[in-house]
């Protein structure tokens, strides 16, 4: 009987424990759902049963005697003391959740963000939201993101989205694989981790926050007037590409070079998409000036078209092939493609294609584009056809490889170029005070300069971005030449424009090829700040082989043997 009573006494102690557990769960979660309420109700019922048992199972029938007894008084004090402890603990947990404060006791402060990151988060002007498209949290960066959230002063938030459960949200951000991480601030969006799996680091996240906070709308101009593809919603238009650019915060305008003297100063990139007629010499000069001033030009050429840009291409080392790229008919037949639709899976090492790995892009009616070495210009092939492809010369006959006429693959369908104006060539221009100031690529060949071009000598000076081409006085001209050595110009030439038209843009990686090219051209990479991760201090003891063996013998043999000896001596003395 006594044992049963003790068991019931311990069971009744669950009452206050469950009650406080339910209260704590409700306060911590902030949601009084069925589970915490059920725990509280069960705890209260157990406490009531305990009081009922104590009142009616006492040895004395006098209620007054029971309440005034020492046992009742001690039990009541114990109950109230227990409840007080749980209330205090619950209050501490509530305050800790409501007003979070963390102290990093590690020597290297490995769980603390760097001072630069803390400064960036402190100066956030607009709320920043991190979108993680995955099935669950990744433990590799969960702690890092929580640190950003804690120091974000309420302006840094996180949302985990399962693309399979919320496909609409995933499509809105253009998510193609699990694990992608995007950053959003106002109407600005930035991809932190895209198609290529990589680890999220503090350096990458902080630099992305700085970039998206200071980002402005970039202006892109589409050249018109030579039969280029329009921005309409028809089958051959660029309406989908236009919408994709606007979704990435670009301002898109059409421009006719025949009606204006130069490229607008606010142009971050100029796009020439599938011209069908040749450019005028004045238009080529305007494009040349724009590139000399650090501009960015995106040219997409279709087969059997000569746009009249040969002189500009020669300066940059662009080689345009007149053949038509034909893919292996067997490969195309497997996926229902015609031979003139090239299926690309090989990409160059470049920021435009760095996340593509072995992804697929489709280029219908493409022509090869290659490059030759030119001093001061860095060329990077972007897109390669397969080994089974070839360049077809005879487009009227049967599509088959003809040895000696056709060109075997792989073929390059696009090249990216970068040029920095070198100080050496600028000095060569400055030293020639009697002749026309030449472009860097023209300085070594003065025989081709015609006398009629000398009249416009002041207009051919390499210009910095945002500078007009008006006549300059000698002092300003010299100053501009001194500062132009750091000017960077970018050029991308692709042997196809149909891949980005309505309908084709959404095929596989076509959209990424187009948008990444425009992004690389219009938004040169800013100087990113590397934040090295905090490293733990290495406190391991380095021992020689002799020391390690001695330590092993001491732990395994000497100390146990010494213990046996001391024990034996003590036993002998007490015997």
Q: What would the pLDDT profile of 113-165 be if each residue is shown by its tens digit?
A: 877 788 888 888 889 899 999 888 888 788 888 888 888 888 888 999 998 88
Q: What is the mean pLDDT of residues 301-317?
A: 91
Q: What is the CATH number of the domain that holds 173?
A: 3.40.30.10
Residues 357 and 277 in one domain: yes
Could you tell me if residue 167 is inside a domain? yes
DSSP state of 393: S
Instruction: Give the end of a domain, one of 213, 235, 260.
Output: 213
pLDDT band at 517 (very low <50, low <70, confident <90, very high): very high
Contacts 24+ apart (CB under 8 A), 48-56: 49/12, 49/15, 50/12, 50/15, 53/8, 53/12
Location of structure tokens 């199972």 = 57
Could you tell me if 369 and 282 lie in one domain?
yes
Q: Is the pLDDT of residue 189 over 90?
A: no
Residues 55 and 145 occupy one common structural domain: no
Can you point out the beta strands (E) in 93-177?
Answer: 128-133, 156-161
Of residues 369 and 101, the one with the higher pLDDT is 369
Residue 566 lies in a domain: no
Q: Provide the number of structural domains found in the chain.
A: 4
Are 297 and 400 contained in the same domain?
yes
* Angle at the Cα of 437 from the Cα atoms of 434 and 443, rounded to 5 degrees: 105
Q: Evaluate whether residue 321 is within a structural domain.
A: yes
Same domain, 263 and 380: yes
- Residue-level pLDDT at 483: 47
Q: Is the CB of residue 498 less than 8 Å from the CB of residue 342?
A: no
Q: What is residue 190's predicted lDDT score, i.e. its pLDDT? A: 80
**pLDDT confidence band for 34 (50 / 70 / 90):** confident
The predicted-structure confidence for 371-430, as pLDDT tens digits, reads as follows 998 888 999 999 999 888 888 887 676 777 777 788 887 899 999 999 986 545 434 433
Kindly state the helix (H) or strand (E) to which residue 185 belongs, with its residue range: strand 180-185
For 525-567, the pLDDT digits (tens) are: 444 455 555 656 666 777 788 888 888 899 998 999 999 999 9
Whether residues 177 and 278 fall in one domain:
no
Is 553 contained in some domain?
A: no
Q: How confident is the model at residue 460 (pLDDT cuts 50, 70, 90)?
A: very low
| Same domain? 156 vs 280 | no
DSSP 3-state of 390: strand
Find the mean pLDDT for residues 431-444.
38
Residue 308 CA, distance from chain mean position: 38
Query: What does residue 379 show for φ and ψ, rounded to 5 degrees?
Result: -110, 145
| Whether pLDDT at 103 is above 70 | yes
Q: pLDDT class for 452, splitting at 50, 70, 90?
A: very low
Q: Which carries the bigger pLDDT value, residue 250 or residue 290?
A: 290
Range of the domain at 200: 115-213
Query: What confidence score (pLDDT) does residue 401 get?
Result: 77
Residue 174 pLDDT grade (very low, low, confident, very high; cuts 50, 70, 90) = confident
Average pLDDT of the chain, as a whole number: 77
Section 302-319 average pLDDT: 92
Q: Is residue 532 part of a domain?
A: no
Tracing tokens 């002092």 back to the chain, one arrives at: 475
Residue 435 pLDDT more than 80? Answer: no
Q: What is the pTM of this model?
A: 0.55
CB neighbours of 435 closer than 8 A, spacing ≥ 6? Answer: 446, 449, 454, 457
372 and 513 within one domain:
yes
Domain CATH for 373: 3.40.50.880
Asked whether residue 479 falls in the same domain as residue 493, the answer is no
Is 480's pLDDT higher than 50? Answer: no
Same domain, 372 and 463: no
- The rounded distance, in Å, linking the Cα atoms of 63 and 52 is 12
Residue 467: per-residue pLDDT: 38
Burial degree of 484 (CB within 10 A; 0-12, 13-18, 19+): buried
Question: Does residue 274 share a domain with residue 188?
Answer: no
Q: Which residue has the higher pLDDT, 318 or 18?
A: 318
Structure tokens at 523: 């938004």
- 357 pLDDT higher than 60: yes
Distance between CA atoms of residues 370 and 338, nearest Å? 24
In a domain, 531, yes or no: no
CB count in 10 Å sphere of residue 447? 4
Q: How large is the greatest C-alpha to C-alpha distance in the chain, in angstroms?
A: 127
Output the CA–CA distances (angstroms, integers) from residue 410 to 327, 369, 407, in the order listed. 10, 12, 9
Alpha helices in 417-458 (DSSP H): 423-431
Is residue 105 assigned to a domain? Answer: no
Give residue 399's Cα distance to chain centre. 42
Q: Which among 400, 310, 338, 323 is positioned nearest to 368, based on CA atoms?
A: 323
Q: What is the dihedral of CA 309, 311, 316, 321, to 10 degrees?
A: 60
Specify if 79 maps to a domain. Answer: yes
pLDDT single digits (tens) 242-252: 888 887 778 89
Is the same domain home to 417 and 458?
A: no
Last residue of a domain, one of 486, 502, 530: 486
**pLDDT (mean) for 239-267:** 86
- Per-position b or e across 165-191, b if 16+ CB within 10 A of its CB: eeeeebeebbbbbebbbbbbbeebbbb
């Amino acid at each position: 009987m006594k044992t049963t009573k003790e068991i019931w006494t311990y069971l009744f102690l669950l009452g206050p424990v469950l009650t406080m557990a339910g209260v704590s769960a409700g306060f911590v979660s902030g949601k009084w759902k069925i589970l915490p309420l059920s725990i509280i109700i069960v705890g209260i019922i157990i406490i009531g049963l305990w009081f009922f048992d104590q009142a009616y199972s006492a040895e004395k029938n006098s209620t007054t005697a029971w309440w005034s007894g020492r046992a009742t008084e001690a039990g009541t004090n114990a109950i109230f003391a227990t409840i007080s402890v749980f209330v205090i603990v619950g209050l501490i947990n509530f305050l800790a959740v409501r007003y979070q404060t963390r102290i990093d006791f590690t020597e290297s402060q490995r769980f603390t963000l760097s001072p630069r990151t803390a400064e960036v988060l402190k100066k956030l002007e607009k709320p920043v939201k991190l979108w993680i498209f995955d099935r669950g949290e990744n433990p590799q960066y969960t702690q890092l993101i929580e640190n950003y959230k804690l120091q974000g002063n309420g302006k840094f938030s996180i949302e985990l989205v399962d693309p399979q459960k919320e496909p609409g949200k995933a499509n809105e951000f253009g998510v193609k694989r699990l694990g992608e991480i995007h950053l959003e601030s106002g109407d600005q969006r930035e991809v932190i981790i895209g198609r290529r799996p990589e680890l999220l680091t503090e350096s990458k996240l902080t630099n992305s926050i700085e970039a998206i906070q200071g980002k402005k709308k970039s202006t892109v101009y589409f050249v018109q007037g030579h039969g280029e593809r329009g921005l309409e919603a028809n089958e051959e238009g660029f309406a989908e590409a236009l919408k994709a650019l606007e979704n990435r915060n670009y301002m898109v305008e059409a421009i006719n070079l025949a009606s204006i003297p130069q490229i607008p100063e606010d142009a971050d990139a100029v796009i020439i998409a599938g011209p069908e007629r040749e450019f005028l010499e004045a238009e080529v000069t305007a494009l040349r000036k724009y590139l000399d001033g650090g501009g960015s030009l995106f040219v997409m050429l279709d087969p059997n078209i000569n746009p009249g840009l040969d002189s500009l291409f020669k300066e940059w080392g662009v080689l345009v092939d007149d053949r038509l790229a034909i893919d292996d008919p067997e490969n195309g037949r497997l996926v229902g493609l015609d031979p003139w639709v090239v299926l690309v899976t090989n990409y160059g090492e470049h920021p435009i294609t760095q996340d593509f790995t072995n992804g697929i892009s489709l280029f219908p009616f493409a022509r090869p584009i290659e490059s030759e070495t030119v001093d001061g210009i860095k060329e990077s092939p972007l897109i390669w056809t397969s080994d089974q492809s070839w360049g077809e010369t005879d487009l009227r006959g049967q599509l088959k490889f003809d040895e000696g006429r056709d060109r075997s693959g792989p073929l390059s369908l696009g090249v990216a170029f970068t040029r920095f104006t070198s100080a050496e060539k600028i000095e060569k221009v400055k030293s020639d005070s009697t002749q026309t100031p030449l472009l860097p690529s023209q300085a070594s060949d003065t025989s081709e300069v015609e006398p009629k071009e000398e009249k416009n000598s002041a207009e051919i000076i390499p210009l910095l971005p945002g500078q007009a081409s008006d006549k300059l006085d000698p002092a300003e001209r010299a100053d501009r030449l001194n500062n132009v050595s750091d000017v960077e110009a970018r050029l991308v030439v692709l042997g196809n424009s149909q891949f980005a038209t309505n309908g084709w843009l959404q095929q596989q990686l076509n959209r990424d090829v187009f948008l990444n090219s425009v992004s690389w051209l219009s938004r040169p990479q800013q100087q990113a700040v590397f934040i090295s991760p905090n490293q733990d201090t290495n406190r391991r003891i380095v021992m020689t082989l002799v020391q390690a063996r001695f330590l092993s013998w001491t732990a395994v043999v000497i100390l146990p043997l010494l213990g046996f000896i001391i024990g034996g001596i003590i036993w002998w003395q007490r015997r």
